[in-house]
Structure 1
Amino acid sequence: MFSKSQDERSPAATRGQVSVLASDLIITGVVASEGSIELHGQVDGEMAASVLTVGPDGHMKGRIQAGLVDVLGYVEGAITCSALTLRQSARLKSDVQSPRLIIESGAEVEGRFSRPAPAATAEPAPAPQTSAIPSGETAQETGEDDSLDTPAE
């Protein structure tokens, strides 16, 4: 009967398995999951997940690598992700590399944002220009003069 709209739910809640790091938890080191992580405590180190939600009380300092990142709390460090959403309560001091970015009004942001370089195309490079002489023939055989225009002595 009563349900939250899609925008009010965290991305982690919509992806199945969720690892919740409670508000009384402090971790120094690497946290990694193939699923989703909700951070309500504090991590100083690295985090990797398919979906990372930093809750309103969450505090992350270090490197983040994830598919989707949703920030409601504090993040300081480098972020590499496919989509980043900074909610109204977010505080971010970071260098971000992401092709998609959403910033809600009220979010505090400091840092640099960049898009990853597009993948190289599979088209072959054009062949270098060659002389107009058919292969196997020399300039003398074709009657062309390959000498420089220099005055006769």
Structure 2
Amino acid sequence: MASKSNSTFSVLGSDLAIKGDIKASADLHIDGNVEGDISCSSLVQGETSTVTGAIKAESARLAGTVNGSITARELVILKTAKINGDVFYDALTIEQGAQVEGRFAHRDAKPAAAAPQQQASKPDLQVAS
């Protein structure tokens, strides 16, 4: 997927609460609360934000609360994040102190063959301090 050089950036402020799905072709910054699924190119979630629903993004940087599954090519979970749901990723970074309740799975891994693939390839998991 080619990124546009003139892409826009949308911000949902901390005073905003949305019920419904969000689909954005642009980058999205969320400080408010969302009840619904989010699909966007790049997502940045603020510390005060709560998302209840699935997140699908090329890249995501999460610092708030997520109650739902996350699918991202590049995912960064910051130390203030609280994730309740399964996480599907290509590259993953988790800061020390982040709370995650759910399963982690590489997006290309097949459930029956997940263990042999993880041993054969170098891990994509990084722990940042």
Out of 58, 72, 75, the residue aligned to residue 63 of structure 2 is: 72
- 2: distance between equivalents of 1:19 and 1:25? 13
In structure 1, stretches of 5+ residues that fail to align are 1-14, 119-153
Corresponding position of 1:86: 77
Corresponding position of 2:47: 56
- 2: distance between equivalents of 1:19 and 1:44? 17
Question: Which secondary structure does the structure 2 equivalent of 1:50 belong to?
Answer: strand
- 1: distance between equivalents of 2:100 and 2:63? 12
State percent identity of aligned pairs. Answer: 35
Q: TM-score, normalization: structure 2?
A: 0.76
* TM-fit CA distance, 1:117: 2.3
Aligned length: 104
Corresponding position of 2:113: none
Out of 25, 30, 34, the residue aligned to residue 34 of structure 1 is: 25
- 1: distance between equivalents of 2:80 and 2:88? 21
Q: What stretches of structure 1 move > 3 A for 4+ residues in a row?
A: none
Letter in 1 for 2:29: E
Q: TM-score, normalization: structure 1?
A: 0.65
In structure 2, stretches of 5+ residues that fail to align are 1-5, 110-129
Say which one has the larger Rg: 1
Pick 1 or 2: higher relative contact order, CA cutoff 8 A, min separation 6. Answer: 2
Superposition RMSD in Å: 1.4
Higher strand share: 2
Corresponding position of 1:20: 11
